[in-house]
Structure 1
């Protein structure tokens, strides 16, 4: 842990020393990831007047994979894909959330999150640390059907929430409907059906004035 990393939550009330060492490492990790519930995202909830947190987002993605896997263009292992969506945002415990339309903050996103992955997953026993890091890297690389579908639902979920909010983050200053299309097009890499539905939501939102017309301004 470096000086910029918060003190471990488990250190504030240490586990009994009689607990098996491997299990203690795993429990320490599980306590630490409770921090995910405090990381706020930009997306508004559909059911309450507040923003969602990363833990809620990850839960929602897991259910989306289980329900929408039939729309994947390639066969996907549902269990493996759920692992990917549950793990990929854990690094934001230390790296923070990077809003989709914040181009400036996105410049060093990969470096911040890679460093956070090393620190956070390093709390686990070596075999599990390596496996979790491999899953995180798989999601980021999008070279497998499961990773492509995981990324697709990760982009579809906030689209649904913004639709329910009649715009939500689509109304971010400077963001246009074409920006939204450009950032959500990755859905089509995994599912033509889900991307067609996503485009319908974006198009209708633009018609209703929930987003600005115009050419893409964010790359």
Structure 2
């Protein structure tokens, strides 16, 4: 464990010392990622008057992959794509969420998340950590059909929540409908059908005054 010198959640009530050491590292990691439930995102929930957390977001993406896979432009391995969306935001346990329209915070996002990935996946046995890190890297690189569709889900999900909130983060000061369209363009890398649907929702949101026009 490369993070043994740092305080982890499991240190608050240490696991029995006579547990198998490999299993102990796996369980320590699984306890640590409970922190994902505490990382708040900017997106509002559709079902309650509060913001969603990263764990809720990741669960929603996994279900979206299952339900919307038929709209992928390229054949995808659904199980592998679910792995990508479940892992993709784990680094935010240490790096924090970076709101999509926060350009200043976005400048340090890659560096913060790379450091967080090394720390978090280092809790696991080396081979397990390497496997999860590979999934995270695949998602970030978007070089596979699964990663492109996973990223499309990551951008489509908050759009649906903002639609239900009649704007939500689209109303962020300085954000225009064109800026929203630009940030959602990546949906088109995974699904033409879902990209067209996303643009339709944004256009309608602008028409209703939920997103600022560019002029």
The TM-score by the shorter chain falls in which range? over 0.9
State the distance in 2 between where 1:88 and 1:153 align: 12
Query: How many residues get paired?
Result: 213
Moved over 2 A (4+): none
Structure 2 counterparts to residues 58-73 of structure 1, below 5 A: 58-73=58-73
Output one character per residue of 1:94-139: Cα deviation in whole Å (capped at 9) or x when no partner. Answer: 0000000000000010110010000000001110101111110000
Q: CA deviation at 1:17?
A: 1.0
Q: CA deviation at 1:2?
A: 9.6
State the distance in 2 between where 1:97 and 1:190 align: 23
Q: CA deviation at 1:85?
A: 0.2
2:38 paired residue number: 38
Maintained 8 Å contact 2:4/2:123: no
Maintained 8 Å contact 2:65/2:153: yes
Structure 2 counterparts to residues 119-130 of structure 1, below 5 A: 119-130=119-130
Output one character per residue of 1:18-69: Cα deviation in whole Å (capped at 9) or x when no partner. Answer: 2111110000000000000000000000000000000000000000000000
1:29 paired residue number: 29
2:214 is the alignment partner of 1:214? yes
State the TM-score, normalized to the length of structure 1.
Answer: 0.95
* 1:75 alignment partner, SS class: coil
State the distance in 2 between where 1:184 and 1:2 align: 39
- Coordinate RMSD, CA, aligned: 1.2
1:104 paired residue number: 104
* 2:107 alignment partner, SS class: helix
State the distance in 2 between where 1:76 and 1:114 align: 27
2:115 paired residue number: 115
* 1:104 alignment partner, SS class: helix
State the distance in 2 between where 1:140 and 1:83 align: 13
* 2:108 alignment partner, SS class: helix
State the distance in 1 between where 2:83 and 2:151 align: 12
2:151 is the alignment partner of 1:140? no
Q: What stretches of structure 2 of length at least 5 have no aligned partner?
A: none
Maintained 8 Å contact 2:41/2:51: yes
Q: What stretches of structure 1 of length at least 5 have no aligned partner?
A: none
2:51 paired residue number: 51
State the TM-score, normalized to the length of structure 2.
Answer: 0.97
